Amino acid sequence: MTRASPSILFVCLGNICRSPMAEGALRQAADAAGLALTIDSAGTSAYHIGSPPDGRAIRTAALHDANIAGLRGGQVADEDFERFDLIFALDEANLADLRERAPADCHAEIALLMDCVPGRAGEAVADPYYGGEEGFAETWTDVAAAAQALVKQFGG
Ligand code: 4NP
In a domain, 144, yes or no: yes
CA 139 to CA 31: how far, in whole Å?
A: 20
pLDDT of residue 5: 83
Within 8 A by CB and 6+ apart from 56, the residues are 17, 128, 133, 136
CA 48 to CA 35: how far, in whole Å?
A: 30
In a domain, 119, yes or no: yes
pLDDT of residue 155: 86
In a domain, 2, yes or no: no
Pocket test residue of 41, 44, 47, 95 for ligand 1, highest count of atoms within 8 A of CB: 47
Q: What would the pLDDT profile of 5-35 be if each residue is shown by its tens digit? A: 899 999 999 999 999 999 999 999 999 999 9
CB atoms within 10 A of CB 113: 32
In a domain, 141, yes or no: yes
Distance (Å) from CA 128 to ligand 1 centroid? 8
Here the CATH number for the domain that contains residue 30 is 3.40.50.2300
User: For the chain, how many structural domains are there in total?
Assistant: 1
pLDDT of residue 1: 47
Domain of 72 in residue numbering reads as: 7-153
Q: What would the pLDDT profile of 63-102 be if each residue is shown by its tens digit? A: 999 999 999 999 999 999 999 999 999 999 999 999 999 9
In a domain, 1, yes or no: no
Indicate the pTM of the whole model.
0.97
